[in-house]
Structure 1
Amino acid sequence: MNFDDYQKAANRTLMGKEQVLTNCVLGLTGESGEVADLVRKYTFQSTKLDKGQLTKELGDVLWYLSQIAEWADIPFDQIASENIKRLKQRYPSSKGGLNQVNL
């Protein structure tokens, strides 16, 4: 699945018409906090990192990001592509393989 397909599919679950942007931004902060809390517990409380829970919370973050982009009429693929281009410029000799990405 590409990002634009995800964005459109996720949009069918968006509820409400009023204050959608505010709802999505506040939801994003809440879900980002859930991710941060899992990492905090893993790092400082020696809790095993639950990859299933982390995957769920990252999915929730992704949903909110996609809907903020949808509200602003920005294709999600465009956001991903532009971000990779900036990373390639910022880290031209990165070991992470950014120079291998075809855009």
Structure 2
Amino acid sequence: MEFNDYQALANRTLYGNEQVLTNLSLGLASETGQVVDLVKKYTFHGESLNKDQLTKQMGDVLWYLSQVAEWADIPFDEVAQQNIAKLNQKYPNEKSSK
């Protein structure tokens, strides 16, 4: 799936009023916190990494990010492309270990 396609499909579930950007930002922080909590429990509490739950929470983070971009009239593909360009510039000789 392309990022812009995801953004458009995700946007059909966005409801809100003039406070929508605040709602999106707070939701993004909350969902990011849930990802962090899963990693913390795995790293420091000896719990198994629940990949299903992690995937769901990461999807929620993705939704909020896509809708912040939508609100700001930024194509989500552009966000991804600019990030890769920045990473390539910052780490020109790095190779993935995976």
| Alpha-carbon distance in 1 for matches of 2:96, 2:43 | 23
Q: Name the structure 2 match of 1:52.
A: 52
Amino acid at match of 1:28: L
Q: Name the structure 2 match of 1:86.
A: 86
Structure 1 stretches lacking a partner, 5+ long:
98-103
CA deviations on 1:12-66 (whole Å, 9 max, x unpaired) are 0001222110000000000000000000000000000000000000000000000
C-alpha RMSD of matched pairs (Å): 1.0
Q: Name the structure 1 match of 2:27.
A: 27
Q: Name the structure 1 match of 2:65.
A: 65
TM-score, structure 1 normalization = 0.92
Amino acid at match of 1:43: T
My pick for the range that moved more, 34-43 or 11-20, is 11-20
Structure 1 segments of 4+ aligned residues over 3 angstroms from their partners: none
| Alpha-carbon distance in 1 for matches of 2:76, 2:70 | 8
Number of residue pairs matched by the alignment: 97
Percent identity between matched residues is 64
| Alpha-carbon distance in 2 for matches of 1:4, 1:41 | 33
Amino acid at match of 1:74: I
TM-score, structure 2 normalization = 0.96
Tell me the CA shift for residue 89 of structure 1. Answer: 0.4
Q: Name the structure 2 match of 1:100.
A: none
Q: Name the structure 1 match of 2:11.
A: 11
Structure 2 stretches lacking a partner, 5+ long:
none
Q: Which has the higher contact order (CA 8 A, sep 6+)?
A: 2
